[in-house]
Amino acid sequence: MTDAQQFETFLHNYQHMVFSTAMRLTANQSEAEDITQEVFLRAYERFAQLQHSPTVGGWLKTVATNLSLNHLARYRSRWTFFSEVFRNAENDSDEVADFPATDDTHQTLAATDRRALVEQALQSLPAPQRVPLVLHHFEELGYEEIAEKLGVSLGKVKTDIFRGREALRRKLHLKLKEEESG
């Protein structure tokens, strides 16, 4: 197998993982595609070392995460000043992933539909809630690591993750046991 073929196989094996990471962090498909492309261009430059490395998945995830966070930081500093007010107003709405809230919703929805709704609800969260939540659940980072990566306090990370979970619960009409019994 030639190097080009090996790289193509490598790309097909890992593209979904890299795209998922970028997509969940940026919540924007075209930006996630750009980031995925950049990750694989960097991987290509050091493919000789990477192709036999057992930690290649971790390397790709880390690069995708860092590029996504850099992108979010750059993008935020460019236009947050003028757009934050409008964005926050949009995000206050919980209608994005809403669906009929019957008791047996969980059972009646097909699994793929359910996943699509959860994905949509996740992507509709405002970035300050979505990013730490994604880093915690999907990248399995601890609160301290997230705070360090994002350059915010530990308390803010905990609060944002809690708010993110709470927003997801509202959007998906998840019920806690005590609410169910009450």
Partner 1 sequence: MNPQQEQQLEASVRRELDALGELTAPPALANRILQAVGQRAVVPWYRRAWPTWPLSLRLASLVGLLGASAGLGFGAWELANTLAGQDSVSRWLTDASALWRVLGVLGDIVRTSFSRLDSKILGAGFALMFATGVACVGLGSACVRLALRPALNRIES
User: CB count, 10 Å around CB of 47?
Assistant: 16
Backbone angles phi, psi at 69, to 5 degrees: -65, -40
10 belongs to the binding site for partner 1 (CB under 8 A): no
Determine the distance from the C-alpha atom of residue 5 to the mean position of all C-alpha atoms in its chain, rounded to a whole number: 30
CB 21, CB 65: distance < 8 Å: yes
Dihedral sign from CA coordinates of 62, 75, 119, 88:
positive
Residue of 137, 102, 105, 101 lying closest to 119 (CA atoms): 137
Q: How many residues bind partner 1 (CB under 8 A)?
A: 45
> What residues between 65 and 84 interact with partner 1 by CB under 8 A?
75, 78-79, 82-83
Q: Does 37 bind partner 1 (CB under 8 A)?
A: yes
Q: Is residue 40 close enough to count as binding partner 1 by CB under 8 A?
A: yes
List the interface residues with partner 1, window 100-119 (CB under 8 A): 111, 114-115, 118-119
CB of 178 to partner 1, least distance (A): 6
Stated length of the chain: 182
**Which positions lie near partner 1, rule CB under 8 A?**
7-8, 11-12, 15-20, 23-24, 28-29, 33, 36-37, 40-41, 44-45, 75, 78-79, 82-83, 87, 111, 114-115, 118-119, 122, 137-138, 162, 165-166, 168-169, 172, 174, 176-178
